[in-house]
Structure 1
Amino acid sequence: MAIPILTRGNHAGKEATVIETKPSDAMRGIGIVQSGSPILQQPAQPLHLPIEHDLAAAIVNDLIAAMHRVRRVHNFAKGMGIAAPQLGIGRRVAVVQPPEPDTQEITLLNPTIVARSDDEDEQYEGCLSFFDVRGKVPRPLRIEVETTSYSGELRRQQYQDGLARLIQHEIDHLDGILYTARMKPANQPIPIEQYRQTGRSWSYE
Structure 2
Amino acid sequence: MRSLGIVQYGAPILGEPARPFTLPDERETADTIVGQLLDAMERMRRAHDFSGKGLGVAAPQIGIGRAAAVIQPPGADPILLLNPCVTAASEAMDEKFERCQSFFDVRVPVCRPLRITVETVTPNGNAATEVYQRGEARLIAHEIDHLDGLVLLNRMRPGVTPVPVEEARKRTEATSRTWSDE
Scaled by the length of structure 1, the TM-score of the pair is 0.83
User: What SS class does the counterpart of residue 116 from structure 2 fall into?
Assistant: strand
Equivalent position SS for 2:103: coil
- The equivalences for 1:68-79 within 5 A come to 68-76=42-50, 77-79=52-54
Q: Which residue of 2 aligns with 1:3?
A: none
1:67 aligned to 2:41?
Answer: yes
The 5 Å alignment of 1:113-132 reads 113-132=86-105
CA distance in 1 between counterparts of 2:92 and 2:54 reads: 22
1:96 is paired with a residue whose SS is strand
Please say if 1:85 is aligned against 2:60: yes
Task: Give the match's secondary structure for 2:94.
Answer: strand
CA RMSD of superposed structures (Å): 1.2
Q: Distance in 1 between matches of 2:165 and 2:122?
A: 37
Instruction: Look up the match of 1:23.
Output: none
Structure 2 residue identity aligned to 1:134? R
SS in 2 for 1:107: strand
Say if 2:1 is the partner of 1:35: no
Highest RCO, 1 vs 2 (Cα 8 Å, sep ≥ 6): 2
Aligned residues of 1:93 and 1:109 also touching (Cα < 8 A): yes
The 1-side partners of 2:159 and 2:49 are apart by 30
- Supply the AA of the counterpart residue of 2:58: A
Structure 2 matches for 1:174-185, cutoff 5 A? 174-185=147-158
Aligned partner of 2:30: which letter?
A
Alignment coverage as a number of residue pairs: 177
Is 1:123–1:202's contact at 8 Å kept on the other side of the alignment?
Answer: no
Aligned to 1:158, the other structure's residue is in SS state: strand
Instruction: Render the CA deviation track for 1:84-128: whole Å, top value 9, x for unaligned.
Output: 00000000000000112xx21000000000000000000010000
What is the CA–CA distance in structure 1 between the aligned matches of 2:142 and 2:82, rounded to whole Å? 15
For 1:136-155, what aligned pairs fall within 5 Å after superposition?
136-155=109-128
| Aligned with 1:133 (options 106, 115, 123) | 106
Q: Which stretch of structure 1 is more off in the superposition, 119-128 or 192-201?
A: 192-201
Identity %, equivalent residues = 53
- Aligned residue for 1:196? 169
Write the letter of the residue equivalent to 1:59: I
Q: Which runs of 4+ in 1 moved over 2 A?
A: 196-205
Pair 1:55-2:32 in alignment: no
Q: Which amino acid aligns with 2:48?
A: H
How much does 1:72 deviate? 1.3
Cα distance, 1:202 vs structure 2: 5.2
What is the distance in 2 between the residues matched to 1:193 and 1:41?
27
Structure 1 residues without counterparts, runs of 5 or longer: 1-26
DSSP-derived class of the 1:129 partner: helix
Shift of 1:132: 0.8
Query: Which of the pair has more CA radius of gyration?
Result: 1
Residue 199 of structure 1 aligns to a residue whose secondary structure is: helix
Of Structure 1 and Structure 2, the greater helix share is in 2
Gaps of 5+ in 2: none
Determine the C-alpha separation between the residues in 2 that align with 1:85 and 1:199.
29
